[in-house]
Amino acid sequence: HCPFCFSGQKEMGRGDFSKIPNGMPGVEHRMDLLHQAVVDGHITRRRWIEIACASPARMFGLYPKKGTIAPGADADIVIYDPEAGQTLSAETHHMNVDYSAYEGKRITGQVETVLSRGEVVIDGRKFTGRAGHGSYTPRATCQYLD
């Protein structure tokens, strides 16, 4: 995830493709797009949870502090409404970028509530967190390399 706006940033590559900044938006919709694969029958709900939570934590050396619900873990929890319908759009996303690679795509499922280290930071799909809530989490090496 490293988005650049079309206006003023991606336009730098007009005439010279090598000057286009690399990256596109999408991290906000990662769980929703993966859940659509469950809805469409491509993966199981269990596999969705594995590739959305535990596997990234292991890859980035954050497991078991992140990526699991267990004693000693951070209590990062997502309450997900698997029936909610939504249309992805730059008009409604929260990323600071002027387009969506998924503009107009209809999907089923949406994040309802998010707890970060046990504190509610999204409630009823509305951000309720505060600046300064984040904290540094040291990483180990990727567990798949061990």
pLDDT by residue for the chain (146 residues), tens only, comes to 567 676 766 666 678 878 777 777 878 899 999 999 999 999 999 999 999 999 999 999 999 999 999 999 998 999 999 999 999 998 998 888 888 889 999 999 999 999 999 999 999 999 999 999 988 999 999 888 76
136 in any annotated domain: no
Range of the domain at 51: 10-127
Give yes or no for a contact between 72 and 64, defined as CB atoms under 8 angstroms apart: yes
The Cα–Cα gap between 66 and 73 comes to 6
89 in any annotated domain: yes
138 in any annotated domain: no
CATH of the domain at 28: 2.30.40
On the CB side of 31, CA atoms within 13 Å amount to: 17
Measured in whole angstroms, how far is the alpha carbon of residue 98 from the centre of its chain?
Answer: 18
Measured in whole angstroms, how far is the alpha carbon of residue 67 from the centre of its chain?
Answer: 13
pLDDT at residue 26, as a whole number: 79
107 in any annotated domain: yes
What is the total count of domains within the chain? 1
108 in any annotated domain: yes
133 in any annotated domain: no
pTM, whole model, 2 decimals?
0.80
Locate tokens 């336009």: which residue? 11
SS3 6: coil
Give yes or no for a contact between 107 and 88, defined as CB atoms under 8 angstroms apart: yes
134 in any annotated domain: no
141 in any annotated domain: no
